[in-house]
Chains A and B, each alone.
Chain A
Amino acid sequence: MEQVVIIGNGIAGITAARHIRKNSNAAITVISSETPHFFSRTALMYVYMGHMTFEHTKPYEDWFWEKNRIGLVQDHVKQIDTEKKQLFLDQSAPISFDKLIIATGSKPSFHQWPGQELKGVQGLYHKRDLDLLEANAPNAQVCKRAVVVGGGLIGIELAEMLHSRHIPVTFLVREAHFWEGVLPTKNAKLLNDHILSHGIDLRLNTELKEIIGGDQGKVKAVLTSNNELIECQLVGITTGVQPNIDFIKNTPIALDKGILVNKYLETNIAGVYAIGDCAQQTEVTGLRRPIEAVWYTGRMMGETLAQTICGNKTAYKPGHWFNSAKFFEVEYQTYGWVNTDKRKQEHEQHFHWQHPHEPIAITAAYHKETNQLLGVNVFGIRLRHAVLDAWLSQHKSLDYCLAHWADALFDPEFSNSHQKDLLNHYNTVFQKALKPVKKSWTRIFNPFSTKK
């Protein structure tokens, strides 16, 4: 029987395992040193916030693995022998493989700050980071102030988590606005306001310079790039992640920042594959980045590679870009490409509508000559993935999309659709006279039908 071994039990590795099991009889072994069972990394925040227990973050009950003949090994891989096709582990006996899938994900990036080894300095990625946070910042008595460094998705999650336990948070963001490296400035400003409205001490244009220790090697304060000293008991480092590939460095597997893979997710070594956050594409699709540390892309690579492993060789060819996040109360979804003001393409223009006093907004990117929809960011509005995907595939115009906005809305029933305000604004800005078209199930279900 073919031995498929997967290193890493995150979404990429587990998706691959599940799909290989569906389509083949191969022996599957998943090795992870992090936790005995797959859990949803994105849900760790909810455990700290008390919305759930860790048990709830496990998408499958514990009997699932045995029933589906997916072997689980909780151990750390020390060395890979690609010649003999063997893995050496910390504690257990070596494991042989015919095919090896590396899906080891990311680790937090630390940028060699003085004092980063102090107690109370931590990232937020692993299960153990959650346990560490519980010890470092159980409540506002032990942790009188926390400093979060890095204005990205994990940074704001960490700020929200600490805030939920009434721990005052100072949030250092290098850019002029939160997440400005990804969002157009107007969107980033909306989030600035929202963060501030929660009483977070948001410091824009501010970097970490040094972490200062106190008694027993614990954090006492941080020094910012403005030479301001902020006393704190916790420093959350959330300045991005990088592929978790240290243990591969002395193997023949070709690496750059991540494990280099072709469009079939194959490394330079036959029978060895890499998927998820740790993989670096040598042949990128469209405007995508070579390393995509996103839940969805991990899953898609897992789905795709399982086909190849099971004899249906399939290239990784993801569809339209999409992503989502939640910033305190503000839900965010994006479909297609909406570039930042700095990185906007020459033909790319933005239409922006924002609710007068609530954190609800839409920024649509369109082609300035053809009016084609290039992408959309929504805040506080849910959109129907299938409809947006179809609109992007069919190069629908922004005019069409806004007129047919009702097809795309995915907010709960009885929600205010804001469609009227949105269209009014659009019509005013562009001197148009678009009228809303009623939602149609026929269009939603048959996006490629030519019927109206």
Chain B
Amino acid sequence: MKQLQQLGIVLFLLGIFTFSSAIFMGTFSPTKAQLTALMTEKGISSKVFESNAVAALTNSSFNNIHSLKNALSAVVLKTNDDHRAAAKKKGISKEARKEAYGNIIYSAPKDLAFILGKASAKGLVAENSLLFFWLSFGLGIFGALLFIVPQVITEGPKGIKNNGIYKQNSTNKGFIAWGVFAYLIGFYLVLYFAPQYTIHWTLMLDPLSYALNGGPASQWFVYGFMYCVIMVVMAIRMYIKYRHVNYQILRTTSVLFFQIVFAFLIPEIMTRLQLPATDFKNAFPLDYDFFFSWNLNKLIDSGGLGLFILVWGILLTLVVVPVMVYFFGKRWYCSWVCGCGGLAETLGDPYRQHSSKSLFSWKVERWLVHGVLVFAVLMTAATLYSFFTGNTSLVGIKTQSIQNTYSFLIGAIFAGVIGTGFYPIFGNRVWCRFGCPLAAYLGFVQRFKSRFRITTNGGQCISCGNCSTYCEMGIDVRAYAQKGENIVRSSCVGCGVCSAVCPRGVLKLEQGPESGRINPTEILLGNDVSLIDLLNKK
């Protein structure tokens, strides 16, 4: 059994190796036809660009995507210099000046490199993309499962098995954890800021992409596919680890369903049907660009369905989400539906113990998460102001630059690079705890107007600390349980693991009447009844 698992690790690492080295593979020999296609796709009309690009790029072969991108950068730079010089030339007509300005290229060279590179890629991976799909994704999945599935037997009978979590390199911030950290950070940086390196990954997934949405795969298709695959594999691990707790099994199934169907399949199929692709479960302000003018315009221009999506999106945030939180707590969203939560609960589960439980972290958390919520609301207010009035700036600040700052800092760096990259170091809910504006909003509802609570079972707590250790949101659950108090914290995502790891049956997630939900206690149940009455009702 152990050899099988070791073989699994080897195969998994081979898959990861193939996947990663695909970044550096291939040669690129763009043709004129490919250049023309690029110009059409990006709406580039500059003849100067065409002639510069033909001279610099065609008839030559680039050994890696990096040099192709550099060459493209140089072409764009040179072209734009020409156009700018032309536009500034004295004594030319207004039309000529306008045309010169119009010819300036604003597309980022990395995006141009992605398109041109993908069209012109040659080499082992490009010519055997299906084979490499199996050698990377296939091997990775198979190896991971070969490691995970035998745990049904190796981990012993069903029940909580956290044995050795703090003794193992991978789960106790050893060099493996730091390696995973570095890899995840690198992956997100490539994904967000250097898409040209994803060319070979997209080539591997093109067949699937064509089958689903009718077009080639972008880096976002790769990301969506990987998200689903990783969640499925790690969900199998969850099913094995928590097979004695039905709550965990149902919850895991639910996040899987919403990720695969709502976040991945439906938007892809909508694209195929030339409808505005939408993740119907993604609620504003997590979905921070919902009110951006390009989205509003897209929805408004898409007829009935577009309007439906618009109305649904607004209803989701203003009505559906808070009402559901009233009845079920924010868990219905954060740990049953949400994609970020879904990844945290599957891929992130081995790291859940690393969330800091200190009072200091709680303070940082409240400032940060509420700060992001304020930022998101202000940005949206500016966005809507600009949308309705046509003014592109508010109190002297350009709406566009507020949006860009938010997208970069919060949308990419915080939610992606830090949010997932820091799993092995700060725990699996870094984003949800410190950054998600939706979580902050739901938190208010959960804290002040909800039927949800984690009930503490009378006086049964032995202060062992399993609950606090394994709380991914960094709640010091024990602090409440050992006082006999229910847990009603705004940050609780209701994953239910505190209850699962409790050795004495002290914690239960449940919905009940609002009265008695918050129960500060002086003396715990089990002691003298009259003393309890005297002090607790004081």
Contacts and interface: CB of A to CB of B under 8 A. Distances in A.
Interface string A189-209: 000000001100000000000
A51 B163 contact: yes
Interface in A399-419: 410-416
Contact of B167 (A22, A50, A300, A322): A50
A366 B361 CA distance: 50
Contacts of A397: none
Given A51-B163, A59-B482, A304-B528, A43 B460 contact: no
Contacts of A47: 166
Contact of A304 (B245, B479, B505, B531): B531
B162 A51 contact: yes
B157 A389 contact: no
B166 to A, nearest CB: 5
A386 B536 CA distance: 15
A445 B244 contact: no
A316 to B, nearest CB: 8
Contacts of A197: 157
A174 B478 CA distance: 36
A51 B528 contact: no
A329 interface: yes
Name B's interface SS. Answer: loop
Interface string A44-58: 001101111100111
Contacts, number: 174
A317 interface: yes
A284 to B, nearest CB: 14
Interface stretch (A124-132, A177-185, A228-236, A377-385): A377-385
B457 A385 contact: yes
A46 B464 contact: yes
B387 to A, nearest CB: 43
Given A59-B482, A326-B503, A11 B463 contact: yes
A42 B465 CA distance: 10
Contacts of B479: 59
A393 B510 CA distance: 25
Among B247, B500, B515, B525, residue most surrounded by chain A Cβ atoms (within 10 Å):
B525
A285 to B, nearest CB: 9
Interface residues of A, number: 59
A452 to B, nearest CB: 17
Contacts of A329: 157-160, 244
B528 A319 contact: yes
A300 B505 contact: no
Nearest to A164: B163
A50 B464 contact: no
Given A40-B465, A198-B156, A296-B459, A414 B505 contact: no
Contact of B464 (A57, A300, A320, A411): A57
Interface string A329-356: 1010100000000000000000000000
A386 B156 CA distance: 34
Nearest to A312: B534
B165 A50 contact: yes
A285 B192 CA distance: 68
A295 interface: yes
Given A303-B527, A324-B505, A412-B246, A52 B465 contact: yes
Among A51, A307, A325, A389, residue most surrounded by chain B Cβ atoms (within 10 Å):
A51
A393 B533 CA distance: 15
B214 interface: no
A319 B505 contact: no
A385 B482 contact: no
B156 to A, nearest CB: 7
Given A197-B157, A319-B528, 4 more contacts: A40-B462, A59-B482, A61-B359, A385-B458
Interface of B: 156-160, 162-168, 244-247, 250, 358-359, 455, 457-460, 462-466, 468-469, 478-479, 482, 496, 499-501, 503-505, 508-510, 512-513, 515-516, 522-532
